Structure 1
Amino acid sequence: MKILRATAFTIKKLPRQHRIALFSTSAIVVALTVWQPTSPLKPTATGQRTSVEIPLGALDVLSKQRHQETSVTLDEPEPLIEENSEPLGAVLDPTDPEFLAPKDELEQQLAQVTDVAHQHKVEPGETLGAVFSQYGLPLADMYRLIEVNRSIQNLRVGQQLEWSVDDEGRVKEFSIRRSAKIIDTFTLTAKGYQFKQLEESGELKPVVLTGRISGSFYQSARAAGLTPNQIQTLVQALQWRFDFGREARKGDRFAVTVEREFIDGKAVTRGDVKALYYISGRREVFIMRHEDGNFYDQEGRSLNRALRRYPLAKRYRISSSFNPQRKHPITKRISPHNGTDFATPIGTPVLAAGDGVVVKARRHRLAGNYVVIKHGREYMTRYLHLHRLLVKVGDKVTMGQRIALSGNTGRSTGPHLHYELIKNNRAVNAMKVPLPQAAPVPSAARSRFVQNANGERQKLLAVMPG
């Protein structure tokens, strides 16, 4: 009591403005003690939430305090692990044969003679950086390309981009089709990237190539005059309708329309495939390219099978995004994350992203229980850290089918699903990259397409080997 009286006597002796400042500071301290900053809305007995009034002076003090704390936090290294994800050091090699589907004879033949061409049509609002990010291409290569010719950044909606990468993942060739006759090309050489603008000054004409299967489809198509890239185009276009690796038979006949450039009556380049007519016994397959760049059948129906963007029945929080350029905060080395992690509780049903065949279903020391599904010849999906597998190797699955239950197996910092989308054997951002759709030719253009397709089919049938 004596201490309190002495304190009160001392306060009374203070000047009036000092006493006001002291009482204001005390009120702020009490308010901050009572107020819970992480729960500004308190639950009531009925389950409703009520607001808590905070003195304006307390908000100013709190704002300054948070600003100071934030400044300190930014200078500290990031955590070494991410919640509901994988430790930064646990990097899965996407090219590890453990996670790849075995190649059949046709895929091996194509891999030996041609670089797989990756293609992308520029969408509204897309930049060069956005494209590189979607497909996991090295940003260092993008900056080198810009240094060679800054016009590479000038992308317009609808322009077609095409590139190939080397064994180390570097961009080997990159091209932009600016118009029907102008193509910008960038080629990696020993001295760096070289830029050329190619202009097709001749006349583009359709040429028909015909053949008969005597050995493999690849060998017979090459003998007919098709290039490896043109064969790759046909294989991918028909991957859901006709498998040239498994279904092509000796005696099958085919006719292909390709576009070539002629100067003074002489063919100087080999261009795009426009149409194919293939006869195997009583089975007939016809496809034709539309002006949108996609192939359709004679009735204008799509040849694709669609893929869904999320392999779950509902959306869960993304605990770690696709980032092949991610750096370790301590070592500063690239520690790529080639998939998307969803913070799913253990036992959450995992769904197939599309129709396909299970090519891997096993356990790995880092990936835990995992499943790999092959979708045609162009796409694969991977599902890691699973609790339980519901499929086995060889099973055919359909889009939306339950294939596993999510878990926390392998190297994992919490229950989650690690999901990867692989296109042409390279991991891409499943949340952003354009996915194949099964839509037909737009109704406004379908009747004209069907009419042109019937005429093209009759033309190819007339020159088909007897």
Structure 2
Amino acid sequence: MKIFKVAAFTIKQLSRQHRIALASTSLLVVAALLWQPSSPLKQAVSYQSNQRIDVELPVEELDVLSEQNSEPMGAVLDPQDPEFSAPKDELEQQLEEVADVAHTHKVTSGETLGVIFSQYALPIADMYRLIKVNKSIQNLGVGQMIEWSVTEEGRVKEFSVKRSAKMTDVYTLTDQGYKFKQLEENGEIKPVMLTGRISGSFYQSARTAGLSPNQIQTVVQALQWRFDFGREARKGDRFAVSVEREFIEGKAVTRGNVKSLYYLSGSREVFVMRHDDGQFYDAEGKSLNRALRRIPLAKRYRISSSFNPRRKHPVTGRISPHNGTDFATPIGTTVVAAGDGVVVKARKHPLAGNYVVIKHGREYMTRYLHLHKLFVKVGDKVTMGQRIALSGNTGRSTGPHLHYELIKKNRAVNAMKVPLPQAEPISSKQRGRFVQLASDERQKLLAVMPG
């Protein structure tokens, strides 16, 4: 009672205007508490309590909030579809028939086996199978080189981890599953000079000189920005290649890695040598790569759907891979080329809408989908950062956005995570020594060059 008296006394002290406002507010609160509208669902239950109504919704019509400004779950674009691929020349076709495409990765700080498998869209199930064969595969050290190849179905065919200069762990897929072996180089590593002259195609001439398909592939990729062996090799061109091979008791036991190459086409000279980091550089220590930018836009936009090759449909549970990165860009946003290259596709597709495909050398390709307007055509040469289109909402799309894909050696990879090629020279601390070694190596190759 004392509380009520105090409250009443306090209210009396208020001005008439404040007492009216307080009373009005109190009435509204009471009315809100007393008012309980009849629920449509409860009404339906009360009138039809003994009936059950099933409403079927088409799965493809269901929107997932996390996938707005993206593609519907059912709109899966096959990265191997010829519609979105660059045409292959004779050299690429020859290498594809006989050589396993080798994918490589240098382990960086904080990376795990799972992270690497995710970046390159490798089957997680294969990763667990490899771990089951030998758990040590999970123990990756910073700077170690990993190499793998895949089957036509996308399974890991061979996987190796170079533990040291002499030790390499190798996992090979067989009919009985994965087999593990550790290779140890017990012999002496010596350079072997292989020389030749172009009489037909570069591939056949290099094979005649003693180079393996994988070594030819290494040379072709190393020089992809300096010399195109598919288009520029001419009859009469001469070359010399240094290959590091392991010898035991005077007998070569491995084919070895390509160390350097000297190529002479008319008056044009091309020389490259591999550095300690595994990359090739010219005689002055300059990189042979062309850089790629991670985001093909002038500024950053929200990522509406990330790269996820194992994405599952929330209703059906089926795998509905997303092989690119989607940016929630308004219609009309400028899209730029991720790197120097040649436009190989610029057209319209029912799912992709207006799209552009750019080939960057022989190793990389980028795709830009759902565009509003194109500024390039097939055959155009573009440079990194050049405007190629305006983003849009064409094709099958849940909202305006840019779908961007990075293809490395014919496989879709995570453009936001994988290491990108950089056009940086050897560091100033190491360049002097490299230049001297390169000069000596060049003289050795010149000495054995065919006359």
The reply to whether TM is greater than 0.5 is yes
Aligned partner of 1:461 among 436, 440, 446: 446
Aligned to 1:259: 244
Q: Is residue 173 of structure 1 aligned with residue 158 of structure 2?
A: yes
- Please say if residues 185 and 246 of structure 2, whose CA atoms lie closer than 8 Å, have aligned partners that are also in contact: yes
Aligned partner of 2:431 among 431, 435, 446: 446
CA distance in 2: counterparts of 1:441 and 1:183, whole angstroms: 26
CA distance in 2: counterparts of 1:133 and 1:85, whole angstroms: 20
Aligned to 1:241: 226
Aligned to 1:69: none
Aligned to 1:287: 272
CA distance in 1: counterparts of 2:268 and 2:256, whole angstroms: 28
1:238, distance to aligned residue in structure 2 (A) = 0.3
Q: Secondary structure at the match of 2:338?
A: coil
Q: Secondary structure at the match of 2:255?
A: strand
Q: Is residue 204 of structure 1 aligned with residue 189 of structure 2?
A: yes
- Please say if residues 323 and 336 of structure 1, whose CA atoms lie closer than 8 Å, have aligned partners that are also in contact: yes
Identity %: 81
CA distance in 2: counterparts of 1:183 and 1:379, whole angstroms: 28
The letter for the 2-side match of 1:456 is: E
CA distance in 2: counterparts of 1:89 and 1:80, whole angstroms: 15
Provide, for residues 100-120 of structure 1, a one-character-per-residue CA deviation record: whole Å limited to 9, x for no partner. 000000000000001100000
CA distance in 2: counterparts of 1:280 and 1:268, whole angstroms: 33
Q: Secondary structure at the match of 1:327?
A: coil
Aligned to 2:403: 418
Supply the RMSD in Å over aligned alpha carbons. Answer: 1.9
Q: Is residue 406 of structure 1 aligned with residue 391 of structure 2?
A: yes
Q: Is residue 119 of structure 1 aligned with residue 104 of structure 2?
A: yes
Q: Is residue 104 of structure 1 aligned with residue 89 of structure 2?
A: yes
Size of the alignment, in residue pairs?
399
- Please say if residues 78 and 329 of structure 1, whose CA atoms lie closer than 8 Å, have aligned partners that are also in contact: no
Provide, for residues 333-370 of structure 1, a one-character-per-residue CA deviation record: whole Å limited to 9, x for no partner. 11100000000000000000000000000000000000
Aligned to 1:429: 414
The letter for the 2-side match of 1:101 is: A
1:78, distance to aligned residue in structure 2 (A) = 8.5
Q: Which runs of 5+ in 1 are unaligned?
A: 1-7, 13-25, 34-76
- Please say if residues 290 and 339 of structure 2, whose CA atoms lie closer than 8 Å, have aligned partners that are also in contact: yes
The letter for the 2-side match of 1:87 is: P
1:276, distance to aligned residue in structure 2 (A) = 0.2
Provide, for residues 136-177 of structure 1, a one-character-per-residue CA deviation record: whole Å limited to 9, x for no partner. 111111111111110000000000000011111111110000
CA distance in 2: counterparts of 1:411 and 1:140, whole angstroms: 31
- Please say if residues 66 and 304 of structure 2, whose CA atoms lie closer than 8 Å, have aligned partners that are also in contact: no
- Please say if residues 107 and 143 of structure 2, whose CA atoms lie closer than 8 Å, have aligned partners that are also in contact: yes
Aligned to 1:146: 131
1:240, distance to aligned residue in structure 2 (A) = 0.3
TM-score for both structures, normalised by structure 2: 0.86
CA distance in 1: counterparts of 2:342 and 2:224, whole angstroms: 13
The letter for the 2-side match of 1:365 is: P
Q: Which runs of 5+ in 2 are unaligned?
A: 9-24, 33-61
Q: Where do 4+ consecutive residues of structure 1 move more than 3 Å? A: none
TM-score for both structures, normalised by structure 1: 0.84
1:80, distance to aligned residue in structure 2 (A) = 7.7
Q: Secondary structure at the match of 1:210?
A: strand
| 1:363-378 paired onto structure 2 within 5 Å | 363-378=348-363
- Please say if residues 66 and 305 of structure 2, whose CA atoms lie closer than 8 Å, have aligned partners that are also in contact: no
CA distance in 1: counterparts of 2:63 and 2:251, whole angstroms: 63
- Deviating more after overlay: 424-433 vs 325-334: 325-334
CA distance in 1: counterparts of 2:331 and 2:404, whole angstroms: 15
1:225, distance to aligned residue in structure 2 (A) = 0.4
Q: Is residue 213 of structure 1 aligned with residue 198 of structure 2?
A: yes
1:331, distance to aligned residue in structure 2 (A) = 1.5
Aligned to 1:70: none
- Please say if residues 182 and 198 of structure 1, whose CA atoms lie closer than 8 Å, have aligned partners that are also in contact: yes
| 1:21-420 paired onto structure 2 within 5 Å | 79=64, 82-420=67-405
- Please say if residues 322 and 429 of structure 1, whose CA atoms lie closer than 8 Å, have aligned partners that are also in contact: yes
CA distance in 2: counterparts of 1:331 and 1:356, whole angstroms: 40
CA distance in 1: counterparts of 2:354 and 2:64, whole angstroms: 26
- Please say if residues 81 and 88 of structure 1, whose CA atoms lie closer than 8 Å, have aligned partners that are also in contact: no
1:79, distance to aligned residue in structure 2 (A) = 2.5
